[in-house]
Protein backbone atom coordinates (compact mmCIF):
# COMPACT_ATOMS: atom_id res chain seq x y z
CA UNK A 1 0.00 0.00 0.00
CA UNK A 2 1.49 3.28 -1.03
CA UNK A 3 2.04 6.21 1.21
CA UNK A 4 -0.72 8.13 -0.52
CA UNK A 5 -3.23 5.34 0.03
CA UNK A 6 -2.29 5.07 3.72
CA UNK A 7 -2.66 8.79 4.11
CA UNK A 8 -6.09 8.75 2.50
CA UNK A 9 -7.23 5.80 4.66
CA UNK A 10 -6.02 7.48 7.85
CA UNK A 11 -7.77 10.65 6.91
CA UNK A 12 -11.00 8.79 6.24
CA UNK A 13 -10.76 6.95 9.58
CA UNK A 14 -10.08 10.18 11.42
CA UNK A 15 -13.03 11.87 9.75
CA UNK A 16 -15.22 8.91 10.66
CA UNK A 17 -14.21 9.05 14.31
CA UNK A 18 -14.63 12.83 14.37
CA UNK A 19 -18.02 12.57 12.67
CA UNK A 20 -19.27 9.97 15.17
CA UNK A 21 -18.14 12.06 18.13
CA UNK A 22 -19.75 15.18 16.76
CA UNK A 23 -22.99 13.45 15.75
CA UNK A 24 -23.30 11.38 18.95
CA UNK A 25 -26.93 11.21 20.07
CA UNK A 26 -28.70 9.80 23.14
CA UNK A 27 -30.21 6.31 22.89
CA UNK A 28 -33.89 6.10 21.91
CA UNK A 29 -36.37 3.46 20.66
CA UNK A 30 -38.68 3.88 17.66
CA UNK A 31 -41.08 1.90 15.44
CA UNK A 32 -40.41 4.33 12.59
CA UNK A 33 -43.24 6.64 13.63
CA UNK A 34 -43.12 7.18 17.41
CA UNK A 35 -40.00 7.31 19.55
CA UNK A 36 -39.10 7.49 23.26
CA UNK A 37 -36.09 7.15 25.56
CA UNK A 38 -37.10 3.65 26.78
CA UNK A 39 -38.78 0.71 24.99
CA UNK A 40 -41.86 0.58 27.25
CA UNK A 41 -42.79 4.20 26.53
CA UNK A 42 -42.05 3.79 22.80
CA UNK A 43 -44.24 0.64 22.72
CA UNK A 44 -47.13 2.49 24.35
CA UNK A 45 -46.88 5.37 21.87
CA UNK A 46 -46.81 2.89 18.96
CA UNK A 47 -50.01 1.24 20.24
CA UNK A 48 -51.82 4.56 20.54
CA UNK A 49 -50.75 5.45 17.00
CA UNK A 50 -51.85 2.04 15.62
CA UNK A 51 -55.41 2.22 17.01
CA UNK A 52 -55.94 5.94 16.50
CA UNK A 53 -57.89 5.31 13.24
CA UNK A 54 -59.86 2.21 14.29
CA UNK A 55 -63.58 2.92 14.59
CA UNK A 56 -64.62 -0.06 16.72
CA UNK A 57 -61.35 -0.89 18.48
CA UNK A 58 -60.07 1.29 21.30
CA UNK A 59 -56.46 1.09 22.46
CA UNK A 60 -56.06 -0.26 26.01
CA UNK A 61 -52.35 -0.86 26.73
CA UNK A 62 -49.07 -2.27 25.35
CA UNK A 63 -46.44 -4.65 26.70
CA UNK A 64 -42.77 -5.36 25.86
CA UNK A 65 -42.47 -9.10 25.15
CA UNK A 66 -38.71 -9.23 24.64
CA UNK A 67 -35.49 -7.28 24.06
CA UNK A 68 -32.72 -8.78 21.90
CA UNK A 69 -29.79 -6.62 20.86
CA UNK A 70 -31.01 -3.53 19.04
CA UNK A 71 -34.58 -4.80 18.68
CA UNK A 72 -37.59 -5.13 21.02
CA UNK A 73 -40.94 -6.84 20.35
CA UNK A 74 -44.09 -5.02 21.45
CA UNK A 75 -47.64 -6.42 21.86
CA UNK A 76 -50.76 -4.19 21.82
CA UNK A 77 -54.18 -4.80 23.40
CA UNK A 78 -57.58 -3.24 22.68
CA UNK A 79 -61.24 -3.26 23.73
CA UNK A 80 -64.35 -3.25 21.48
CA UNK A 81 -66.55 -0.16 21.40
CA UNK A 82 -69.54 -2.16 20.07
CA UNK A 83 -72.52 -2.86 22.40
CA UNK A 84 -72.62 -6.13 24.33
CA UNK A 85 -68.82 -6.57 24.08
CA UNK A 86 -66.46 -6.63 27.01
CA UNK A 87 -62.98 -7.68 27.96
CA UNK A 88 -59.48 -6.82 26.71
CA UNK A 89 -58.36 -8.46 23.46
CA UNK A 90 -54.94 -9.12 22.02
CA UNK A 91 -54.30 -7.08 18.91
CA UNK A 92 -51.44 -6.17 16.62
CA UNK A 93 -47.72 -6.06 17.49
CA UNK A 94 -44.84 -3.73 16.66
CA UNK A 95 -41.10 -4.08 16.27
CA UNK A 96 -38.96 -1.40 17.91
CA UNK A 97 -35.37 -0.56 17.06
CA UNK A 98 -32.66 1.10 19.15
CA UNK A 99 -31.08 4.27 17.77
CA UNK A 100 -28.36 6.59 19.12
CA UNK A 101 -24.88 6.03 20.41
CA UNK A 102 -24.68 7.15 24.07
CA UNK A 103 -26.61 7.36 27.33
CA UNK A 104 -28.01 10.73 28.48
CA UNK A 105 -25.87 12.77 30.86
CA UNK A 106 -26.05 11.49 34.40
CA UNK A 107 -27.17 7.97 33.38
CA UNK A 108 -25.53 4.76 32.16
CA UNK A 109 -24.19 2.38 31.34
CA UNK A 110 -26.70 0.91 28.85
CA UNK A 111 -28.49 -2.23 30.08
CA UNK A 112 -29.04 -4.65 27.12
CA UNK A 113 -31.56 -6.73 29.11
CA UNK A 114 -33.97 -3.87 29.86
CA UNK A 115 -33.05 -1.65 26.93
CA UNK A 116 -32.60 1.47 29.06
CA UNK A 117 -29.71 3.44 30.53
CA UNK A 118 -29.64 2.75 34.26
CA UNK A 119 -29.60 5.87 36.48
CA UNK A 120 -26.25 6.58 38.09
CA UNK A 121 -26.04 6.19 41.85
CA UNK A 122 -24.78 9.22 43.68
CA UNK A 123 -24.78 10.49 47.25
CA UNK A 124 -24.59 14.19 46.46
CA UNK A 125 -27.51 16.50 47.12
CA UNK A 126 -28.35 19.61 45.06
CA UNK A 127 -25.75 22.29 45.78
CA UNK A 128 -23.11 19.94 47.26
CA UNK A 129 -19.55 20.59 46.09
CA UNK A 130 -18.17 17.85 43.87
CA UNK A 131 -14.89 16.11 44.69
CA UNK A 132 -13.42 16.53 41.23
CA UNK A 133 -13.23 20.32 40.90
CA UNK A 134 -10.97 20.24 37.84
CA UNK A 135 -10.02 23.73 36.76
CA UNK A 136 -12.83 25.39 38.74
CA UNK A 137 -11.81 28.19 41.08
CA UNK A 138 -13.17 29.11 44.48
CA UNK A 139 -15.57 31.76 43.17
CA UNK A 140 -17.10 29.36 40.62
CA UNK A 141 -16.83 25.81 42.04
CA UNK A 142 -18.43 22.72 40.57
CA UNK A 143 -21.60 21.67 42.41
CA UNK A 144 -24.12 18.87 41.94
CA UNK A 145 -27.02 19.97 39.73
CA UNK A 146 -29.98 17.57 40.04
CA UNK A 147 -31.65 19.02 36.93
CA UNK A 148 -28.94 17.39 34.76
CA UNK A 149 -27.64 14.84 37.30
CA UNK A 150 -24.09 16.06 36.88
CA UNK A 151 -21.42 18.29 38.39
CA UNK A 152 -21.50 21.72 36.76
CA UNK A 153 -20.04 25.13 37.51
CA UNK A 154 -21.94 27.16 40.08
CA UNK A 155 -22.61 29.94 37.54
CA UNK A 156 -24.11 27.38 35.16
CA UNK A 157 -26.23 25.48 37.73
CA UNK A 158 -30.03 25.63 37.80
CA UNK A 159 -32.95 24.74 40.05
CA UNK A 160 -32.32 24.34 43.78
CA UNK A 161 -28.57 23.74 43.38
CA UNK A 162 -27.34 27.38 43.36
CA UNK A 163 -29.75 28.39 46.17
CA UNK A 164 -28.69 25.43 48.32
CA UNK A 165 -24.99 26.21 47.77
CA UNK A 166 -25.46 29.91 48.69
CA UNK A 167 -27.40 28.94 51.83
CA UNK A 168 -24.60 26.56 52.89
CA UNK A 169 -21.97 29.26 52.39
CA UNK A 170 -23.92 31.98 54.25
CA UNK A 171 -21.83 33.43 57.06
CA UNK A 172 -24.84 34.78 58.99
CA UNK A 173 -26.51 32.16 61.16
CA UNK A 174 -29.05 34.67 62.49
CA UNK A 175 -30.41 35.57 59.07
CA UNK A 176 -30.48 38.64 56.84
CA UNK A 177 -32.53 41.81 57.21
CA UNK A 178 -35.02 42.58 54.43
CA UNK A 179 -37.57 45.26 53.64
CA UNK A 180 -40.41 43.62 51.72
CA UNK A 181 -44.03 44.14 50.74
CA UNK A 182 -46.45 42.81 53.37
CA UNK A 183 -49.85 41.17 53.11
CA UNK A 184 -53.15 41.20 55.03
CA UNK A 185 -53.86 38.00 56.96
CA UNK A 186 -57.33 36.53 57.62
CA UNK A 187 -57.75 38.72 60.67
CA UNK A 188 -56.99 41.89 58.71
CA UNK A 189 -53.52 42.28 60.25
CA UNK A 190 -50.69 43.67 58.14
CA UNK A 191 -47.96 41.06 58.37
CA UNK A 192 -44.96 39.84 56.41
CA UNK A 193 -45.53 36.77 54.20
CA UNK A 194 -44.13 33.47 55.55
CA UNK A 195 -41.78 33.24 52.55
CA UNK A 196 -40.67 35.44 49.70
CA UNK A 197 -38.05 35.64 46.95
CA UNK A 198 -34.67 37.29 47.17
CA UNK A 199 -34.83 39.19 43.88
CA UNK A 200 -31.06 39.31 43.44
CA UNK A 201 -30.73 35.51 43.80
CA UNK A 202 -34.15 34.19 42.71
CA UNK A 203 -34.06 32.02 45.82
CA UNK A 204 -36.74 31.37 48.43
CA UNK A 205 -36.40 33.12 51.80
CA UNK A 206 -38.28 32.12 54.95
CA UNK A 207 -39.41 34.77 57.42
CA UNK A 208 -37.96 33.86 60.84
CA UNK A 209 -38.74 37.02 62.85
CA UNK A 210 -41.78 38.96 63.94
CA UNK A 211 -42.86 41.66 61.51
CA UNK A 212 -42.73 45.42 61.81
CA UNK A 213 -45.01 46.97 59.19
CA UNK A 214 -46.63 50.21 58.10
CA UNK A 215 -49.86 50.39 56.09
CA UNK A 216 -51.76 53.06 54.20
CA UNK A 217 -55.51 53.45 53.70
CA UNK A 218 -54.98 52.26 50.12
CA UNK A 219 -53.60 48.93 51.44
CA UNK A 220 -49.92 49.46 50.60
CA UNK A 221 -47.87 47.51 53.20
CA UNK A 222 -44.13 47.60 53.87
CA UNK A 223 -42.47 45.33 56.46
CA UNK A 224 -39.04 44.88 58.04
CA UNK A 225 -38.20 41.21 58.66
CA UNK A 226 -35.31 38.83 59.24
CA UNK A 227 -35.16 36.00 56.70
CA UNK A 228 -33.02 32.97 55.94
CA UNK A 229 -32.47 31.19 52.65
CA UNK A 230 -34.25 27.84 52.54
CA UNK A 231 -31.94 26.36 49.89
CA UNK A 232 -34.85 26.16 47.44
CA UNK A 233 -35.41 28.05 44.23
CA UNK A 234 -38.28 30.50 43.99
CA UNK A 235 -40.66 27.94 42.50
CA UNK A 236 -44.36 28.08 41.76
CA UNK A 237 -46.60 28.89 44.70
CA UNK A 238 -44.10 31.15 46.46
CA UNK A 239 -44.86 34.84 46.55
CA UNK A 240 -42.45 36.73 44.31
CA UNK A 241 -42.10 40.04 46.12
CA UNK A 242 -39.72 42.83 45.30
CA UNK A 243 -37.36 43.08 48.25
CA UNK A 244 -34.36 45.04 49.41
CA UNK A 245 -31.55 43.47 51.41
CA UNK A 246 -30.43 45.57 54.37
CA UNK A 247 -26.80 45.45 55.50
CA UNK A 248 -24.75 46.86 58.34
CA UNK A 249 -23.65 49.67 56.01
CA UNK A 250 -27.23 50.26 54.87
CA UNK A 251 -29.61 49.10 57.62
CA UNK A 252 -33.37 48.87 57.22
CA UNK A 253 -35.14 52.13 57.95
CA UNK A 254 -37.29 52.01 61.06
CA UNK A 255 -40.97 51.57 60.27
CA UNK A 256 -42.29 54.75 61.88
CA UNK A 257 -45.79 55.69 60.70
CA UNK A 258 -45.67 58.88 58.66
CA UNK A 259 -48.13 61.78 58.55
CA UNK A 260 -48.33 63.48 55.16
CA UNK A 261 -50.33 66.58 54.27
CA UNK A 262 -50.91 67.73 50.72
CA UNK A 263 -52.60 71.01 49.85
CA UNK A 264 -53.44 72.65 46.52
CA UNK A 265 -54.74 76.22 46.92
CA UNK A 266 -57.55 77.79 44.91
CA UNK A 267 -56.10 79.57 41.87
CA UNK A 268 -59.02 81.32 40.08
CA UNK A 269 -59.22 81.00 36.33
CA UNK A 270 -61.30 83.70 34.64
CA UNK A 271 -64.05 82.88 32.14
CA UNK A 272 -63.81 86.20 30.22
CA UNK A 273 -67.14 87.56 31.46
CA UNK A 274 -66.25 88.50 35.01
CA UNK A 275 -66.58 84.98 36.44
CA UNK A 276 -63.97 82.45 37.50
CA UNK A 277 -63.49 78.88 38.71
CA UNK A 278 -60.93 76.95 40.77
CA UNK A 279 -60.47 73.76 42.80
CA UNK A 280 -58.91 73.62 46.25
CA UNK A 281 -57.83 70.36 47.86
CA UNK A 282 -56.37 69.44 51.23
CA UNK A 283 -55.59 65.96 52.55
CA UNK A 284 -53.86 64.58 55.62
CA UNK A 285 -52.96 60.89 55.68
CA UNK A 286 -51.57 58.99 58.66
CA UNK A 287 -50.02 55.57 58.13
CA UNK A 288 -51.07 52.71 60.37
CA UNK A 289 -48.60 50.40 62.07
CA UNK A 290 -48.49 46.69 62.78
CA UNK A 291 -46.05 45.00 65.14
CA UNK A 292 -46.50 41.25 65.52
CA UNK A 293 -44.57 38.76 67.63
CA UNK A 294 -44.66 36.28 70.49
CA UNK A 295 -45.79 37.59 73.88
CA UNK A 296 -45.42 34.93 76.61
CA UNK A 297 -45.62 32.25 73.94
CA UNK A 298 -48.75 33.71 72.29
CA UNK A 299 -48.60 35.41 68.88
CA UNK A 300 -50.08 38.89 69.18
CA UNK A 301 -50.28 41.98 67.01
CA UNK A 302 -50.39 45.60 68.16
CA UNK A 303 -52.28 47.63 65.59
CA UNK A 304 -52.73 51.29 64.78
CA UNK A 305 -55.22 51.65 61.92
CA UNK A 306 -54.34 53.91 58.98
CA UNK A 307 -56.55 56.94 58.46
CA UNK A 308 -56.97 59.95 56.22
CA UNK A 309 -59.07 63.10 56.01
CA UNK A 310 -59.39 64.99 52.75
CA UNK A 311 -61.58 67.74 51.34
CA UNK A 312 -61.96 69.00 47.80
CA UNK A 313 -63.82 72.26 47.09
CA UNK A 314 -64.72 73.35 43.56
CA UNK A 315 -65.69 77.03 43.39
CA UNK A 316 -67.52 78.67 40.49
CA UNK A 317 -68.14 82.44 40.43
CA UNK A 318 -70.58 84.01 37.94
CA UNK A 319 -71.23 87.75 37.36
CA UNK A 320 -74.60 88.96 36.06
CA UNK A 321 -76.03 92.43 35.34
CA UNK A 322 -79.69 92.76 36.44
CA UNK A 323 -82.33 94.83 34.56
CA UNK A 324 -82.51 97.41 37.36
CA UNK A 325 -78.82 98.18 37.00
CA UNK A 326 -77.73 96.03 39.93
CA UNK A 327 -74.91 93.52 39.68
CA UNK A 328 -75.33 89.98 41.04
CA UNK A 329 -72.35 87.79 41.85
CA UNK A 330 -73.20 84.11 42.44
CA UNK A 331 -70.63 81.90 44.14
CA UNK A 332 -71.23 78.11 44.22
CA UNK A 333 -68.96 75.89 46.30
CA UNK A 334 -69.25 72.11 45.88
CA UNK A 335 -67.30 70.44 48.71
CA UNK A 336 -66.57 66.75 49.23
CA UNK A 337 -65.10 65.54 52.52
CA UNK A 338 -63.71 61.96 52.47
CA UNK A 339 -62.68 60.36 55.79
CA UNK A 340 -61.03 56.90 55.91
CA UNK A 341 -60.75 54.97 59.19
CA UNK A 342 -59.05 51.80 57.84
CA UNK A 343 -57.88 50.17 54.62
CA UNK A 344 -60.49 50.95 51.94
CA UNK A 345 -62.96 51.90 54.68
CA UNK A 346 -64.07 55.44 53.87
CA UNK A 347 -67.14 57.65 54.24
CA UNK A 348 -67.96 60.61 52.02
CA UNK A 349 -70.02 63.73 52.71
CA UNK A 350 -70.92 66.45 50.23
CA UNK A 351 -72.37 69.93 50.41
CA UNK A 352 -73.29 72.70 47.99
CA UNK A 353 -73.15 76.27 49.27
CA UNK A 354 -74.61 79.06 47.12
CA UNK A 355 -73.93 82.72 47.95
CA UNK A 356 -75.67 85.50 46.04
CA UNK A 357 -74.43 89.06 46.50
CA UNK A 358 -76.45 91.86 44.84
CA UNK A 359 -74.94 95.36 44.66
CA UNK A 360 -77.34 98.14 43.63
CA UNK A 361 -76.41 101.21 41.60
CA UNK A 362 -76.48 103.24 44.82
CA UNK A 363 -73.84 101.00 46.40
CA UNK A 364 -76.00 99.03 48.82
CA UNK A 365 -75.27 95.32 49.13
CA UNK A 366 -77.55 92.38 49.86
CA UNK A 367 -76.27 88.84 50.48
CA UNK A 368 -78.16 85.53 50.52
CA UNK A 369 -76.58 82.17 51.54
CA UNK A 370 -78.09 78.72 51.11
CA UNK A 371 -76.67 75.25 51.68
CA UNK A 372 -77.68 71.76 50.53
CA UNK A 373 -76.32 68.37 51.67
CA UNK A 374 -74.23 68.16 54.83
CA UNK A 375 -74.30 71.68 56.29
CA UNK A 376 -73.25 73.32 59.54
CA UNK A 377 -75.87 74.67 61.98
CA UNK A 378 -75.22 78.23 60.73
CA UNK A 379 -75.94 77.22 57.12
CA UNK A 380 -72.37 76.91 55.89
CA UNK A 381 -70.91 74.03 53.88
CA UNK A 382 -68.20 71.48 54.59
CA UNK A 383 -65.51 73.90 53.37
CA UNK A 384 -66.09 75.97 56.51
CA UNK A 385 -65.23 73.04 58.82
CA UNK A 386 -61.72 73.82 60.16
CA UNK A 387 -60.99 70.11 60.80
CA UNK A 388 -61.83 69.00 57.25
CA UNK A 389 -58.71 67.82 55.43
CA UNK A 390 -56.63 67.71 58.62
CA UNK A 391 -55.52 64.92 60.93
CA UNK A 392 -58.04 65.91 63.62
CA UNK A 393 -61.79 65.62 63.76
CA UNK A 394 -64.14 62.92 62.48
CA UNK A 395 -62.58 60.34 64.74
CA UNK A 396 -59.04 60.92 63.46
CA UNK A 397 -56.10 61.98 65.59
CA UNK A 398 -53.54 64.50 64.46
CA UNK A 399 -50.59 62.78 66.10
CA UNK A 400 -49.46 59.18 65.78
CA UNK A 401 -49.48 57.38 69.09
CA UNK A 402 -52.35 59.42 70.50
CA UNK A 403 -55.09 57.30 71.99
CA UNK A 404 -57.74 60.00 71.67
CA UNK A 405 -59.67 61.71 74.48
CA UNK A 406 -62.54 60.66 76.69
CA UNK A 407 -64.59 62.56 79.30
CA UNK A 408 -65.98 61.31 82.62
CA UNK A 409 -69.65 61.66 83.52
CA UNK A 410 -72.09 60.56 86.24
CA UNK A 411 -75.10 61.10 83.97
CA UNK A 412 -76.68 57.79 82.92
CA UNK A 413 -78.81 59.49 80.28
CA UNK A 414 -75.88 60.83 78.24
CA UNK A 415 -72.79 58.60 77.75
CA UNK A 416 -69.32 60.13 78.15
CA UNK A 417 -67.78 61.82 75.13
CA UNK A 418 -65.02 59.82 73.40
CA UNK A 419 -62.73 60.79 70.50
CA UNK A 420 -60.12 58.33 69.23
CA UNK A 421 -60.02 54.61 68.60
CA UNK A 422 -63.61 53.52 67.78
CA UNK A 423 -63.12 50.12 69.46
CA UNK A 424 -61.94 51.68 72.73
CA UNK A 425 -64.81 54.17 72.57
CA UNK A 426 -67.28 51.30 72.11
CA UNK A 427 -65.82 49.52 75.17
CA UNK A 428 -66.09 52.72 77.24
CA UNK A 429 -69.72 53.19 76.19
CA UNK A 430 -70.63 49.59 77.09
CA UNK A 431 -68.94 49.90 80.49
CA UNK A 432 -70.92 53.08 81.11
CA UNK A 433 -74.20 51.29 80.27
CA UNK A 434 -73.37 48.28 82.48
CA UNK A 435 -72.41 50.49 85.43
CA UNK A 436 -75.61 52.51 85.14
CA UNK A 437 -77.67 49.30 85.13
CA UNK A 438 -76.01 48.19 88.39
CA UNK A 439 -76.57 51.58 90.06
CA UNK A 440 -80.13 52.12 88.83
CA UNK A 441 -82.96 52.15 91.48
CA UNK A 442 -85.79 49.59 91.14
CA UNK A 443 -88.84 50.60 89.11
CA UNK A 444 -92.41 50.79 90.50
CA UNK A 445 -93.23 47.44 88.92
CA UNK A 446 -90.14 45.85 90.49
CA UNK A 447 -91.05 47.34 93.91
CA UNK A 448 -94.62 45.98 93.62
CA UNK A 449 -93.33 42.51 92.73
CA UNK A 450 -90.88 42.56 95.65
CA UNK A 451 -93.66 43.59 98.14
CA UNK A 452 -95.88 40.78 96.85
CA UNK A 453 -93.13 38.23 97.49
CA UNK A 454 -92.58 39.60 101.04
CA UNK A 455 -96.33 39.42 101.87
CA UNK A 456 -96.49 35.84 100.62
CA UNK A 457 -93.58 34.87 102.91
CA UNK A 458 -95.26 36.49 105.91
CA UNK A 459 -98.52 34.61 105.22
CA UNK A 460 -96.71 31.28 104.99
CA UNK A 461 -94.91 31.99 108.27
CA UNK A 462 -98.21 32.79 110.06
CA UNK A 463 -99.82 29.52 108.90
CA UNK A 464 -96.83 27.54 110.23
CA UNK A 465 -96.93 29.45 113.55
CA UNK A 466 -100.67 28.72 114.09
CA UNK A 467 -100.14 25.01 113.35
CA UNK A 468 -97.26 24.80 115.83
CA UNK A 469 -99.25 26.59 118.57
CA UNK A 470 -102.18 24.16 118.10
CA UNK A 471 -99.95 21.08 118.42
CA UNK A 472 -98.23 22.43 121.56
CA UNK A 473 -101.57 23.26 123.27
CA UNK A 474 -102.91 19.76 122.57
CA UNK A 475 -99.76 18.26 124.07
CA UNK A 476 -99.91 20.33 127.26
CA UNK A 477 -103.62 19.57 127.78
CA UNK A 478 -102.95 15.84 127.46
CA UNK A 479 -100.15 16.04 130.02
CA UNK A 480 -102.36 17.96 132.48
CA UNK A 481 -105.16 15.44 132.10
CA UNK A 482 -102.80 12.51 132.67
CA UNK A 483 -101.06 14.06 135.67
CA UNK A 484 -104.31 15.01 137.52
CA UNK A 485 -105.71 11.49 137.32
CA UNK A 486 -108.71 12.51 135.25
CA UNK A 487 -109.64 10.71 132.10
CA UNK A 488 -108.62 7.17 133.35
CA UNK A 489 -105.65 8.07 135.50
CA UNK A 490 -105.72 4.61 137.35
CA UNK A 491 -106.39 3.48 140.96
CA UNK A 492 -104.59 1.72 143.83
CA UNK A 493 -104.96 -2.13 144.23
CA UNK A 494 -106.54 -3.48 147.53
CA UNK A 495 -104.34 -5.27 150.10
CA UNK A 496 -104.05 -9.05 149.51
CA UNK A 497 -103.89 -11.60 152.39
CA UNK A 498 -102.57 -15.21 152.07
CA UNK A 499 -101.13 -17.99 154.36
CA UNK A 500 -97.81 -19.79 154.03
CA UNK A 501 -97.00 -22.90 156.19
CA UNK A 502 -99.77 -22.01 158.58
CA UNK A 503 -98.74 -18.39 158.84
CA UNK A 504 -100.99 -15.50 157.68
CA UNK A 505 -99.30 -12.79 155.47
CA UNK A 506 -100.56 -9.52 153.79
CA UNK A 507 -99.36 -7.54 150.62
CA UNK A 508 -100.11 -3.92 151.63
CA UNK A 509 -100.54 -2.16 148.21
CA UNK A 510 -102.06 0.83 150.03
CA UNK A 511 -98.68 1.69 151.47
CA UNK A 512 -96.86 1.74 147.99
CA UNK A 513 -99.48 3.51 145.87
CA UNK A 514 -98.25 6.96 146.84
CA UNK A 515 -94.66 6.17 145.78
CA UNK A 516 -95.83 4.57 142.53
CA UNK A 517 -97.87 7.72 141.78
CA UNK A 518 -94.71 9.84 141.68
CA UNK A 519 -93.09 7.29 139.28
CA UNK A 520 -96.14 7.62 137.01
CA UNK A 521 -95.63 11.40 136.78
CA UNK A 522 -91.97 10.94 135.78
CA UNK A 523 -92.83 8.44 132.99
CA UNK A 524 -95.57 10.75 131.64
CA UNK A 525 -93.24 13.75 131.68
CA UNK A 526 -90.58 11.85 129.73
CA UNK A 527 -93.13 10.64 127.18
CA UNK A 528 -94.53 14.13 126.57
CA UNK A 529 -91.06 15.64 126.25
CA UNK A 530 -90.25 13.06 123.52
CA UNK A 531 -93.55 13.89 121.81
CA UNK A 532 -92.74 17.62 122.01
CA UNK A 533 -89.44 17.05 120.18
CA UNK A 534 -91.27 15.20 117.39
CA UNK A 535 -93.79 18.05 117.08
CA UNK A 536 -91.00 20.64 116.96
CA UNK A 537 -89.21 18.75 114.17
CA UNK A 538 -92.42 18.50 112.11
CA UNK A 539 -93.02 22.25 112.44
Helix (H, G, I), strand (E, B) or coil at 289: strand
Q: Which of 90-94, 354-358, 424-428 shows the lowest mean pLDDT across its residues?
A: 424-428
What is the separation, in whole angstroms, between the first and last Cα of the chain? 148
Q: For 376-426, where are the E strands, in sequence order? A: 404-406, 418-420
Q: How many CB atoms lie within 10 A of CB 125?
A: 14
- What is the model's pLDDT at position 457? 77
- What is the model's pLDDT at position 483? 54
pTM of the entire structure? 0.45
CA dihedral 494, 500, 503, 506 (to 10 degrees): -10
- Spell out a b/e string for 382-397, using b for 16 or more CB atoms within 10 Å of the CB, else e: bbbbebbbbbebbbbb
Tell me the pLDDT tens digit for each residue of 385-401. Answer: 888 888 765 443 333 33
Q: What is the mean pLDDT of the chain?
A: 77
Segment of 90-94, 144-148, 459-463 carrying the highest mean pLDDT: 90-94
Between CA 331 and CA 383 the distance in angstroms is 13
Q: Which of 251-260, 419-428, 443-452, 491-500 shows the lowest mean pLDDT across its residues?
A: 419-428
Q: Parallel, antiparallel, or unpaired: how do β-strands 212-215 and 288-295 relate?
A: antiparallel
- What is the model's pLDDT at position 255? 83
Top pLDDT among 9 and 448 is at 448
Helices (H) and strands (E) in the chain, counts: 6, 30
Top pLDDT among 512 and 117 is at 117
* DSSP letter string, 77-127: EEEE-STT--S-EEEEEEEEEEE-SBPPTTEEEEETTTTEEEEPP----TT
Tell me the pLDDT tens digit for each residue of 201-220. Answer: 778 888 887 778 889 988 88
- What is the model's pLDDT at position 484? 57
Between CA 414 and CA 421 the distance in angstroms is 20
Ordered by start, the domain boundaries in the chain are 23-119, 176-255, 261-384, 404-438, 454-538
Amino acid sequence: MGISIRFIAGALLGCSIYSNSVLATDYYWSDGISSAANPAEACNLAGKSTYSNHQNQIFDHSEITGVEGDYASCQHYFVWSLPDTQGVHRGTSSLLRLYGSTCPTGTGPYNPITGICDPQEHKLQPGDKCEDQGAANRSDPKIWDDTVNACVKFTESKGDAPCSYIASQSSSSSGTAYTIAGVLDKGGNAVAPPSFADSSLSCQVKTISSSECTITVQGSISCNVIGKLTGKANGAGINSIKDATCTAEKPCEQKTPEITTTQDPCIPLGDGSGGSSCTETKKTETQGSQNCGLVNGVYKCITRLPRSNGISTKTNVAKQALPDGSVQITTVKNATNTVCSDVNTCTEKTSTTTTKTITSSSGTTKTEVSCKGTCTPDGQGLESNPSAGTGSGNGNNSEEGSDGTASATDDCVTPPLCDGDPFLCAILKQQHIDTCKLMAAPTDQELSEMQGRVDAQYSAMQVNQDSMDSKVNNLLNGFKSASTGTGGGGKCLPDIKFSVLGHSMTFAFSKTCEALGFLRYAVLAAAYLFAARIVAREI
